[in-house]
Amino acid sequence: MKFKGILLDIDNTLYHYDTAHNYAKNKVIEYCSETLNFNEIDIKEAYENARRQVNIELAETAASHNRLLYFQKTLESLQVNPLKHSFDIYNIYWDNFLEEIQPYEGIYDFLEKYKGNICLVTDLTAHIQYRKIKQLQLDKYCNHIVTSEEAGREKPHPYMFMVGLKKLQLQPNDVCMIGDNFKKDIFGATNLGIKSIWLNESNNIEDFDKSMVLEAKTFKEILDLV
């Protein structure tokens, strides 16, 4: 192994987020259309407005990702009692999301290689990230996790990575950060002197120090880099 430990993102790094998200969101729209008698356009608009509002008001906190708040504010804007439906819609979303999660090819070979030496470093609330961990069976390979809910900050804040290092009991030059989001995962880690692998499936263009950052187009490619 080239590293003593790994700091590892979850969403869009170990599976394709948009596929699961779009599937789950469509199930929510279908439910609201059939149960609450709203047309799909109005539901989509209300949801996007609610999501933006929560993201602005709760920026840089784990709660800014909370789908229960998104759906509560969606229903409020549609003048529907959120106490009757928000929690049901929340469960419809996440149950369908988890059902649709498909791990990237190569992740389990990688996880086996670094088994017991991985700390998951992830934004979002702890509860749903633990559900994803169970669905993807990450608990068989990973012993540690840092969520932004636990840390009180979101990536790229250095504290997220510092907590991960502390849990692994390792120094920055002992580990590698792997993630898909250049600003949050790669920029945040390299600012602390942590070497990183950027999973760049979308072929985005960024300037970076190649002595600190390696780039991969698929997760399978990462196996050859670590």
Q: Indicate the average pLDDT of the chain.
A: 96
Domain segments of the chain: what residues?
A: 5-15+104-225, 18-100
Helical ranges in 2-155 per DSSP H: 17-36, 40-57, 67-77, 82-100, 107-113, 126-136, 148-151
**What pLDDT was estimated at residue 1?**
60
Q: Average pLDDT for residues 41-52, to the nearest whole number? A: 95
- Per-residue pLDDT tens for 65-81? 999 999 999 999 999 99
pTM value is 0.93
- In the structure, what pLDDT confidence band is assigned to residue 190 with cuts at 50, 70 and 90? very high
Verify cis geometry, omega within 30 degrees of 0, for the bond prior to 156: yes
In Å, how far are 42, 56, 99, 103, 220 from 111, measured between CA atoms?
A: 43, 35, 21, 12, 12
**What pLDDT was estimated at residue 207?**
87
CATH architecture, domain 5-15+104-225:
3-Layer(aba) Sandwich (3.40)
- What the block records as the tokens of 58 is 């709760």
Which residue is associated with the tokens 């961990």?
A: 133
Q: Average pLDDT for residues 190-204, to the nearest whole number? A: 95
Eight-class DSSP state of 138: G
**What pLDDT was estimated at residue 139?**
98
- What the block records as the tokens of 106 is 């190569």
Cα(152)–Cα(144) distance, rounded to whole angstroms?
Answer: 17
Q: Average pLDDT for residues 141-170, to the nearest whole number? A: 97
- What the block records as the tokens of 40 is 């799909």
For residue 40, the one-letter residue type is E
Q: Average pLDDT for residues 25-52, to the nearest whole number? A: 95
